[in-house]
Amino acid sequence: MNASKTLHPALFDKPEKKATRDAFGEALLELGKQNPNVVALTADLGESVRTAAFEKAFPERFFEVGICEQFMMAAAAGLALEGKIPFATTFANFGSGRVYDHVRQSVCYNRANVKIAVTHAGLTLGEDGATHQMLEDLGMMRTLPHMTVVNPCDFIETRKATFAVATWKGPCYLRMGRSGVPMITTEQTPFEIGKSNVLLEGSDASIAACGVMVYPALVAAKELEEKHKISVEVVNHHTLKPFDAKQLVKSAKKCGALVTAEEHQRTSGLRAACAEVLSESLPTPIQYVAVEDSFGESGKPDQLLEKYGLTTASIVKKALAAVKMKK
Amino acid sequence: MDKKKIHELKLKANTLRQDVITTLLAAGAGHTGGPLGMADVFSALYFHFVKHDPKKPHWDGRDRVVLSNGHICAILYCALAESGYLPKEELKTFRKINSRLQGHPNRSDLPGVETSAGSLGQGICVAVGMALAGKLDKKPHTVYALMGDGELNEGACWEAFLNAHKFKLDNLLVMVDRNDIQIDGFGHDVLPLDPLPDKFKAFGFDVFEGNGNDMEQVVKTTEKALKTKNGKPRVILWRTTMGKGVDFMENLPKWHGIPPTQEQADEALKQLRAQRTKLEAEKP
């Protein structure tokens, strides 16, 4: 294990927690200052998705459309086709499932340069419960032609991702959470859409993680090395599409076993992306940590992650199983 | 508008109708009734009202014509071809493999198509987004949003109308093809929309109505709507006859989504040519 300056110094020592959506709000405001073509839309969730500062600074470039998410996505496409860079903001469930056909036809088929920026994804939304805990969006979105899908792991990475999607040509889906998550990366950590980051190097098993599962993956790697003498690589696959197949294969080749970890259903998300690549390029034992084909429920984020098995302990268990499969 | 111009637009509408028949015959599949019903409105738009340049389809100063009910795209393709956006010969490729003329229009394929449309209730939202951009940049062009009345069944249309009103989009002119026919039958049976003018008024629109198959009315009503700029979105409800111009197609729901056979096409063209001969005799 060789933590460097690209990992937060307090990584394993009660790191500070900050919400990814806060980073988005700050970055959006800066983007507004940098580029007059950046506009933002929201569907009655401006406070929650952190567009308030942008709205205050650029009221004429901010469109509060009311609870009209379908309209918002296609109208964002219209704005994009006229040369604007629209950020369409809402919660993950309203920005994917609710509006899927509008995103498919008006955004993707039109190749409209729309940036769908969603917060409150996954179980860690917490108390609002299953109706709002979107766990299928990565799959839905990465299936769409022309779509780019990014799920950053922490505050600093979200900031970089927001700037990156703004300059990226074409439709993007930027997935963020509600609650505070540990600071993992630093300003020096590279971020490039479509290029995964090796956060820890190892040789016995590789963990492919995204979003809020990157932190438990790192803690699991530490535990595996300390308690089980297993050397684990941790790769942050922040971009689900275009997927960094090269890095995945490289890690799989080196380690010979893979664990995927995501705050998503066990099908169609990161696990699927990894399996798709490896089944063709390098058949490798894969174990997964994900939601087992079920809806969530109300509770505190940590309680939910525990109950649905999205934990460090699950990753450790699955890594041991993956290593066993090698033999 | 002088009588000569109106006469020209009537002839153009007849040309478009004939092209719709030959295009649908060659395709062997597709929607015939809607395109025929909207031929007069498309003639008035493309050959008179709309500012556009077929040689520079992406010219920034153009008016945007957004077809929201994509399934009537045969009339859009015929109008674009007659304007010079594509060779008329290409109309024969409609709905065929490797064609730019998709069964429902695709923006990326064909210059002149402002948005991909097919799944209903979306083009109007795209048009509102374009009108928002036009307002933001203080551009003088008009965004025309063409819709079917059956399309108004889709809830998203009404989301778009609420927002068109909120953002005072008087650069938007919605046109509804009020033919009262959709796939499963007459609109008033499938899902009643009346009182439709009152609905639009209640949504904050300036509402205009006219016979969409009477060129004098099409021109007069469109001129009136374009002159009206009250800080409100505008809508024209065009009463049209689906299948207009071909007697055995008129006002029959079955002609929503089928093409003519060779025999039917011959008969349709015969009728349309006779109408043209009559029109040509009426020198303005």
> What's the CATH number where B239 sits?
3.40.50.970
Summarised one tens digit per residue, pLDDT across range A85-131 is 999 999 999 999 999 999 999 999 999 999 999 999 999 999 999 99
CA distance B162 to chain A (A): 9
DSSP string, A38-73: EEEEESS-TTTTT-HHHHHH-GGGEEE--S-HHHHH
Question: Cβ of B126 and A75 within 8 Å?
Answer: yes
Q: Which residues pair with B209 in a beta bridge?
A: B237
Low-confidence ranges of chain A (pLDDT < 50): 1-2
Q: Is B9 a residue whose pLDDT tops 70?
A: yes
Taking the Cβ of residue A132 and every Cβ of chain B, the question of whether any pair is shorter than 8 Å is answered with no
- Which residue type does A25 have? G
Contacts of A78 in chain B (CB under 8 A): 115, 125-133
Looking at this predicted complex, what is its ipTM? 0.97
Interface test with B, best of A37, A102, A105, A144 (most B CBs within 10 A): A105
Q: Which pLDDT score is estimated for A4?
A: 65
> Which has the closest alpha carbon to A185: A165, A150, A215, A229?
A215
pTM of the model: 0.97
Q: Tell me the three state secondary structure of residue B30.
A: coil
Angle at B279 between CA B276 and CA B284, to 5 degrees: 150
| pLDDT above 70: percentage of residues in chain B | 100
- Residue identified by tokens 């029959």 is B252
Domain ranges of chain A: 17-182, 197-326
Per the structure, how many domains does chain B have? 1
Question: Cβ of B133 and A78 within 8 Å?
Answer: yes
CA distance B57 to chain A (A): 14
Q: Which pLDDT score is estimated for B1?
A: 76
> Which has the closest alpha carbon to A120: A95, A94, A139, A92?
A92
Q: Which residues pair with A64 in a beta bridge?
A: A42
**Among partner residues A66, A82, A106, which is closest to B162 by beta-carbon distance?**
A66
Within this chain, domains A17-182 and A197-326 share the same CATH topology? yes
Question: Cβ of A77 and B115 within 8 Å?
Answer: yes
Residues 6+ away with beta carbon under 8 Å from B283: B7
Question: Cβ of B114 and A105 within 8 Å?
Answer: no
CA distance A64 to chain B (A): 9
DSSP string, B109-141: TSTT--S---STTSHHHHHHHHHHHHHHTT---
CA distance A114 to chain B (A): 12
Q: Which pLDDT score is estimated for A5?
A: 78
Q: Is B283 a residue whose pLDDT tops 90?
A: no
Q: Tell me the three state secondary structure of residue A264.
A: strand
CA distance B282 to chain A (A): 43
- Top-level class of domain A197-326: alpha beta
Mean pLDDT of B113-120: 98
As given in the structure block, the two tokens for residue A292 are 């087992």
Pairs across A and B, CB distance < 8 A: 108
**Among partner residues A68, A86, A111, which is closest to B108 by beta-carbon distance?**
A111
Summarised one tens digit per residue, pLDDT across range B155-190 is 999 999 999 999 999 999 999 999 999 999 999 999
Question: Cβ of A78 and B115 within 8 Å?
Answer: yes
Q: Residue A296 phi/psi, 5° resolution? A: -85, -155
Q: Which pLDDT score is estimated for A6?
A: 87
Taking the Cβ of residue A68 and every Cβ of chain B, the question of whether any pair is shorter than 8 Å is answered with yes
Taking the Cβ of residue A98 and every Cβ of chain B, the question of whether any pair is shorter than 8 Å is answered with no
Summarised one tens digit per residue, pLDDT across range A119-174 is 999 999 999 999 999 999 999 999 999 999 999 999 999 999 999 999 999 999 99
Q: Which pLDDT score is estimated for B284?
A: 81
Q: Taking chain B, what is the end-to-end CA distance rounded to the nearest angstrom?
A: 12
Q: Which pLDDT score is estimated for B222?
A: 98
Catalytic (active-site) positions of A = 69
A17-182 topology per CATH:
Rossmann fold (3.40.50)
Q: What is chain B's length?
A: 284
Q: Which pLDDT score is estimated for A1?
A: 44
**Among partner residues B121, B127, B167, which is closest to A78 by beta-carbon distance?**
B127
Taking the Cβ of residue A83 and every Cβ of chain B, the question of whether any pair is shorter than 8 Å is answered with yes
**Among partner residues B136, B137, B159, which is closest to A71 by beta-carbon distance?**
B159
Domain that holds residue B267: 3-281
Contacts of B126 in chain A (CB under 8 A): 74-75, 77-78, 81, 106, 110
- Confidence at B276, pLDDT banded by 50, 70, 90: very high
Question: Cβ of A61 and B108 within 8 Å?
Answer: no
